[in-house]
Amino acid sequence: MNWLGRLNTLRNQIFIGFMLVMIIVLALVGTLVYDQVSVLLRNSAEKHIQQTVVQATGKLDALLQQVNTLSAQIATNAKVQSFLAQETREKQVSFEERQGLQQEVHKYDAFATGIRSFELYTTDYQRLLPLDDGSLRSRVSDKWIARADEGMGRLIWFGLDPKNPDVVVAVRRIRLINHSFAHGGYLLIRMDREYFELADSSVGNSGEVRERIGLFDESGREISSAFAGLVDSRTLLDNRGQSIKVEGESYIPIQRQSEVNGWRLVILTPMNYTAESISILRTAIFISGLVGVLLFLVFSFILTTMITRPILNMIKAMRGARFGTLKRNKMTSKTMEINELNNTYNQMVDTMNELIEVVYQKEIIQSRTELKALQAQINPHFLFNTLEAFYWALDDKGEEELAQIVVAMSGLFRYVINRKDEDEWVSIGDELDHAERYLTIMKMRMLDRLSWQIESDEKSRSIPIPKLLIQPIVENAILHGVEQRIETGTVVLRVEPAERPGYTRISVTDNGPGMSADKIDSLYSAMREGHAASAKGSGVGIANVDRRIKLYYTMEQGLCITSAEGEGTTVSFEIPNEYRRL
């Protein structure tokens, strides 16, 4: 424990921290330098095969251009244009005409090697050539056809045929020249995979393999390769300048993408002639790092001693401070940082003395506030006793209607004021009774201008719900719905099972003037910002109700408002039947 305690000193912590930082920095710098120089060496090797890349890319582009030219000639052939135009006019080409068309297209086979077949299709994907019946959709996917349509007459290369890995497929959309270049059909070209053979490995004077060439389509499938089966194509294509091992030898990959069809050309060149330079670089970086660590070890020890000595002296001066009225430290130092630390400590002492005085004053104010709260707690009982006295007085005089109003007011106040904080949850039945008392009071004020209904079943009345969720909505319906009408207004409070199993829907509907869509949007916006509070009544606005629903039930949807101008407004929400609160 004593040994661990000595290590836990500020001096040792700074020393160890400096050493760890230095080691990490040297490791990062060494790694970065090693990587960067290695990249430079690899770039030097890449320059030796740039000519190979240019030649291979040029050969690939020449092959693609040859097929592109040939397919363009077929697409613009007079007979092909004529028969496809005939098909677009829903005049079917006869079998004899298709035979003549086949002979016409076969003439182009001699202009290029590696072509297995040319296939012609109409705009509705029906095959004209070869002579057997078939559909373009049975040959290629709808995605490929859509790409050909987007090409607007350009030759679109799709790479290997999923149904025949030895065939490369390309499609061109044929445009009818004499018909304003309208869509006339499709030309599908099937090429032998060997036609794109670029994988001849370059061999040096000593017989070792130099460069290896591979060609891949847009999907990463191998068209041709001199390292087939030796390395995973996906790993190779996702490579970002890192070396690749093939048959135990490291290679540097270089990628080039064809501008014609997006295929990628990958050339691997061995890096054995750069390995020696990288090894020397690694040794130099290791020795430099070791020397740097030793030098930093010595200087860190000296620096930590210089930092911690005045701090220890300051600690001794601060030990004289005790709780209560703290005393300022009069110690000075020649070190600017230590003086600043001492000034900060003195400022802290002054602030703490002020805070002690503030806390003392707050305790006095809190004692007075608790006394006022105790006095305010008695006021509701006085209010209830007074209302009860009014009730009995009115009952004795036969004023039954006014007596019932007083009872409703007493129940309203008791529901809002008399419940404890832990009694925040009530049943839907309690909420409906509270809403009924409020409606009874409002009926007395508005007389015949207000009529109301409460519809619910006994099963729904026992469902738990947070207190004061329904009455603010009823209040809002009266203030903004019924009171805006000259004739009698109606408020319907309905509790019913929701469409979702296990949920209950509570809605309040009025036949007031309603709202426009813009007004509803602004109301939703105000609810999100918490500004849609009721201007009258309980002060618990619909924004508060919406926020409490989302809070208690952890739902994204709170209140749902549906309204139309002249047709009234309905405000509703749904709650789970078996919600368990913590």
Residues present in the chain in total: 582
Backbone angles phi, psi at 181, to 5 degrees: 55, 40
Alpha carbon 541 to its chain's center: 33
The one-letter amino acid at 127 = R
- 112-130 pLDDT, tens digit each: 777 888 888 888 888 888 8
Same fold: 53-189 with 419-576: no
| Rounded distance between C-alpha atoms, residue 68 and residue 261, angstroms | 11
Cis preceding linkage at 162, omega within 30: no
Find residue 495's DSSP bridge partners.
Answer: 506
Task: Show the tokens assigned to 279.
Answer: 């090894």
**Which residues in 92-181 belong to E strands, given as ranges?**
115-121, 127-129, 155-161, 164-176
- Residue 226 to residue 201: CA distance in whole angstroms: 6
**Half-sphere exposure in the Cβ direction for 527 (13 Å, CA):** 22
Nearest CA to 131 out of 119, 141, 123 is that of 119
The domain 419-576: what is its CATH number? 3.30.565.10
CA diameter of the chain: 127
Distance CA 201, CA 58 (A): 17
pLDDT in tens, 266-307: 777 776 655 556 667 677 777 877 887 788 777 777 777 767
Alpha helices of 141-258 — where are they, by DSSP H?
142-151, 233-237
Q: What is the pLDDT of residue 310?
A: 67
Q: Answer yes or no: are the C-beta atoms of 455 and 436 closer than 8 Å.
A: no
Q: Which of 475, 507, 474 is nearest to 575 (CA)?
A: 507
Domain boundaries, the chain: 2-44+276-311, 53-189, 197-270, 328-415, 419-576
CATH of the structural domain 53-189, one choice from 3.30.450, 3.40.109, 1.10.10, 3.10.50: 3.30.450
Please report the DSSP string for 337-406 in residue order.
HHHHHHHHHHHHHHHHHHHHHHHHHHHHHHHHHHHHHHHHHHHHHHHHHHHHHHHHHHHHTT-HHHHHHH
CA nearest to 79, candidates 53, 52, 100, 49 = 100
Written as six digits, the tokens of 430 are 């309690």
Print pLDDT tens along the chain (582 aa).
455 555 566 667 777 777 777 778 777 877 777 777 767 766 665 566 677 777 777 777 788 888 888 888 888 888 888 878 888 887 887 778 778 877 888 777 767 777 888 888 888 888 888 877 788 888 888 888 888 888 888 888 888 887 888 888 889 888 888 888 888 888 888 888 888 776 554 444 444 546 777 788 777 777 777 766 666 666 667 666 677 777 667 777 777 777 777 777 777 777 665 555 666 767 777 787 788 778 877 777 777 776 776 677 667 656 655 555 566 767 666 667 777 777 887 788 778 777 777 666 666 655 555 545 444 444 555 455 555 555 566 565 666 666 667 666 666 666 766 555 446 788 999 899 888 888 888 887 787 888 989 999 889 999 999 888 898 899 899 888 888 888 888 999 999 998 989 999 999 999 989 899 899 998 888 888 766 544 444 334 788 888 888 878 877 788 999 998 888 999 999 999 887 554
Which tokens go with 68? 């592109």
Burial (Cβ within 10 Å: 0-12, 13-18, ≥19) of residue 157: buried
Question: How far is the first Cα of the chain from the last one, in angstroms, to the nearest whole number?
Answer: 46
Q: Report the CATH superfamily, name and number, of domain 197-270.
A: PAS domain (3.30.450.20)
The model carries a pTM of 0.40
